[in-house]
Structure 1
């Protein structure tokens, strides 16, 4: 495993970081706790020391699973990255969307990052995770109803108290990052980034390069699309959000799979899966510090962690990018 410093902090994170959304089951068709715990532990054995979670993932379930998985690991050997600002138990802030919890009950999700809410969320997360500090505390989504100043000053207070080591943001644009930076030193921005979703290259990447901020790329395999395992006509499990996601329309699956077939010789020559090749390409892009990769069982976790045992040459990166630039999806 390789490690990189996150932004201008002294936080060393594993370039493959365990993304624990799917482990929480919510919006992924449920979860099996034992499998998820084993997946995290298997990742750690292969050098994946960083774990990214959030209260909203399974409405506390994902954080509880992470807490259980790391309880026997010395706390300074793992980096816990979690979030705040998405409430399912409070009607306040920006309405996000309606969903169902893991038990099938209707819930409404609100994006809310008021001071008192952040303080409560932090205490709840610490309990679920079984720890007394969070390495990176990130706002999950922008909240238009709360001034960025109020939000970031609350996190700065948590840092002063030793409950949080570093502040991060998720899904912020460059302008929002600059505003947040007035009130707390930001370590990073966690944003969607993959071969087929590269919007951040226009503003977030240049900002992070200029200001030495890390980028945590989430969904680098585009929620499974870039593994090459999904074929047109695929039937998703009940509750799986991908069923209505435009990336998974049959025509987009066909076009993406044709692109993946064109780069498969590179993967085959290195003994890599297409998913592993995707992760390696992502990690070589400007300003990308880590790739957040989810796993729901031990086998997936091991495969993800082993991606970094190989490297890509400049020529291989260029060849993949040139072929990728010819791919057009109907979104």
Structure 2
């Protein structure tokens, strides 16, 4: 396992980290707890030392599950991150970036996780806030209070929009220690690389998430709710089939791509299946063949470079505010 320093924190994080969304049944339904226990045990025994979760994942299920297994490990043997700001499936209750809710949320998370503190507390998907000034002037100062109280060691922000992450950092009165963005440090879309200097120049650690783009870069494909355009989904499906025809797996190529990217401390991968974890860890430890490296480059050139867009900026944001508008008009 390779370890990298996370910004200016004292955290030396594994290049491959465990995302907690799968423990909330985000990508599959009713995964047995024993299977998920096996994933955590195997990950830790293989050198993975960071888990990232959130109240949003299964509306507390992910945190509750982790709270049942983490006490069996020494608290100093792993890093644990959670989030505040995103909560409920109901659009009207989904987001709350108020200082009061931030304070309440972390207390509940600590109770569910069965730990006295988290290593990084992150404001979750901040582009959904009604105004980014709310995040800068209320959410982050509340998180600073929690840091002063010893309930979190560091403060982070997350979101799909890298531009929004940068804007909040520029106006925040609070030191932001980490940023997390997803699906944009990937084989499909590597635009995160374009902004690494901005974060590095401010001593901010970069966490990349969803290296397989929420299922796009897998043989089984994404779930129905995935916000990508049909053009992107079709391109990824064809790329997957192309890899299979050549005796490889697109998820394997996508995993290798992520864990070898410069400037990114760690990439979060989420799975509740030990077989998937073991396959990924083998890639981290052994890499891929020269033929597979050529195939990876060919896949990007043939299927992804011709796309008009490789992202889904504002798709979810527009859907959310449309739902809020409809609810208010009823």
Given the two structures, how large is their TM-score scaled by the length of structure 1?
Answer: 0.79
- Tell me how far apart the structure 1 counterparts of residues 104 and 60 of structure 2 sit (CA, whole Å): 13
> Residues 24 and 57 of structure 2 are in contact (CA less than 8 Å); yes or no, is this contact kept in structure 1?
yes
- Tell me how far apart the structure 1 counterparts of residues 59 and 105 of structure 2 sit (CA, whole Å): 12
Residue by residue over 1:23-43, the C-alpha shift from the partner in whole angstroms, topping out at 9 and shown as x without a partner, is: 211464343322222211221
- Tell me how far apart the structure 2 counterparts of residues 304 and 5 of structure 1 sit (CA, whole Å): 21
- Tell me how far apart the structure 1 counterparts of residues 233 and 287 of structure 2 sit (CA, whole Å): 32
Q: How does 1:1-331 map to 2 (within 5 A)?
A: 1-26=1-26, 28-88=28-88, 99=89, 108-142=92-126, 143-145=129-131, 146-171=134-159, 172-180=164-172, 182-193=173-184, 194-202=186-194, 204-227=195-218, 229-230=219-220, 241-242=225-226, 245-246=228-229, 251-257=234-240, 260=243, 274-311=250-287, 320-321=296-297, 323-326=299-302, 327=304, 328-329=306-307
Residue by residue over 1:145-204, the C-alpha shift from the partner in whole angstroms, topping out at 9 and shown as x without a partner, is: 424122111111111111100111101432222223x312423333332211233344x3
- Tell me how far apart the structure 1 counterparts of residues 291 and 87 of structure 2 sit (CA, whole Å): 46
- Tell me how far apart the structure 1 counterparts of residues 301 and 155 of structure 2 sit (CA, whole Å): 34
Q: Gaps spanning 5+ residues in structure 2: where? A: 310-330
Deviation of 1:220 after TM superposition, in Å, equals: 0.5
SS of the residue corresponding to residue 178 of structure 2 reads strand
If each structure's strand is expressed as a fraction of its own residues, which one has the higher value?
1
> Residues 118 and 153 of structure 2 are in contact (CA less than 8 Å); yes or no, is this contact kept in structure 1?
yes
> Residues 53 and 82 of structure 2 are in contact (CA less than 8 Å); yes or no, is this contact kept in structure 1?
yes
> Residues 280 and 307 of structure 1 are in contact (CA less than 8 Å); yes or no, is this contact kept in structure 2?
yes
SS of the residue corresponding to residue 4 of structure 1 reads strand
- Tell me how far apart the structure 1 counterparts of residues 91 and 29 of structure 2 sit (CA, whole Å): 16
Deviation of 1:50 after TM superposition, in Å, equals: 0.7
SS of the residue corresponding to residue 224 of structure 1 reads coil
Counting matched residue pairs gives 298
Q: Does the C-alpha gap of structure 1 residues 294 and 249 become closer, same or farther in structure 2, counting only changes over 3 Å?
A: same
- Tell me how far apart the structure 1 counterparts of residues 231 and 52 of structure 2 sit (CA, whole Å): 25
> Residues 54 and 82 of structure 1 are in contact (CA less than 8 Å); yes or no, is this contact kept in structure 2?
yes
Deviation of 1:252 after TM superposition, in Å, equals: 2.5
SS of the residue corresponding to residue 200 of structure 1 reads helix
Deviation of 1:317 after TM superposition, in Å, equals: 6.3
Q: Does the C-alpha gap of structure 1 residues 274 and 316 become closer, same or farther in structure 2, counting only changes over 3 Å?
A: closer
Q: Does the C-alpha gap of structure 1 residues 115 and 288 become closer, same or farther in structure 2, counting only changes over 3 Å?
A: same
The residue number in structure 2 matching 1:95 is none
Q: Gaps spanning 5+ residues in structure 1: where? A: 89-98, 100-105, 268-272
If each structure's helix is expressed as a fraction of its own residues, which one has the higher value?
2
Q: CA RMSD in A?
A: 3.0
The residue number in structure 1 matching 2:328 is none
Q: Does the C-alpha gap of structure 1 residues 261 and 210 become closer, same or farther in structure 2, counting only changes over 3 Å?
A: farther
